[in-house]
Amino acid sequence: MIREEELEIAIKVVIVGNGGVGKSSMIQRYCKGIYTKDYKKTIGVDFLERMIDIDGEDVRIMLWDTAGQEEFDAITKAYYRGAQACVITFSTTDRNSFEAVKDWKKKVENECGEIPTVLVQNKIDLIEQSIVTFEETELLAKNLGVRLFQTSVKEDLNVSNVFRFLATKCHEIIKQQYNNVLSQNTPTISQFNPTFHSKNSGTIVLTRPLRKSKRKSMLKKCGWI
């Protein structure tokens, strides 16, 4: 029987949106606490992670930064697979990026199905140059059925709330599934393939190998020996 303290919860989050909306900057800000004015377009996919505490438990958030340019679509799509949460980003000063939000949602949905998703309006520090009204943005979020966050990566406004919100949602789902597995006594968690996975909504990985006796009792419980 696996004890909870032997498990680590890891959540894969994909960040999508048109080029130049601030995806890489957001991830850098959140994971490294830095911000740069330079724009270096992402080629393909990048990756950073951060540990946070949810309900007294360590949760590893793995952030996948995908290129916004269409030319990289074929590469980035492959990385959506297995994502448990999604951030769709557009920029306050770029109308095209706002118009593209629905397409981004579809692209991710095609690969991952329905996963916890948020809409992020970034560069809110440039609100005076805004190309979209608050009502339009709110309506879009409502129609997509997702929560809206307004952020400024530059001013470090609201960024961590985005990831905390998603991590909390995923954490609830994962816990629920973990409890279901334990109560159903099904052989889903294994030492040899140590992930617990169900419909894209949760991954629990073993952080350290189980002791021999524990492994035996777990395999027994799963009906494998």
Ligand X SMILES: Nc1nc2c(ncn2[C@@H]2O[C@H](COP(=O)(O)OP(=O)(O)OP(=O)(O)O)[C@@H](O)[C@H]2O)c(=O)[nH]1
Q: Binding residues for ligand X, per CB under 6 A?
A: 19-25, 36-39, 41-42, 67-69, 122-123, 125-126, 152-154
> At closest approach, how far in Å is the CB of 140 from ligand X?
18
Question: Residues near 71 by Cβ (< 8 Å), separated by ≥ 6?
Answer: none
Distance CA 174, CA 197 (A): 9
- Residue 69 CB, nearest approach to ligand X (Å): 6
CA dihedral 98, 101, 104, 108 (to 10 degrees): 150
Closest approach of ligand X to the CB of residue 135, in Å: 22
**CB 48 to ligand X: min, Å:** 12
Name the residue whose CB lies closest to ligand X. 68
The residue (of 158 and 191) whose beta carbon lies closer to ligand X is 158
Residue type at 91 in one-letter notation: S
- The nearer residue to ligand X, 137 or 203, going by C-beta atoms, is 137
Is 35 or 165 the residue whose CB approaches ligand X more closely? 35
Which is closer to ligand X, CB of 17 or CB of 116? 17
Question: How many CB atoms lie under 10 A from the CB of residue 103?
Answer: 12
Q: Exposed e or buried b for every residue in 50-64, given b needs 16+ CB within 10 A?
A: bebebeeeebbbbbb
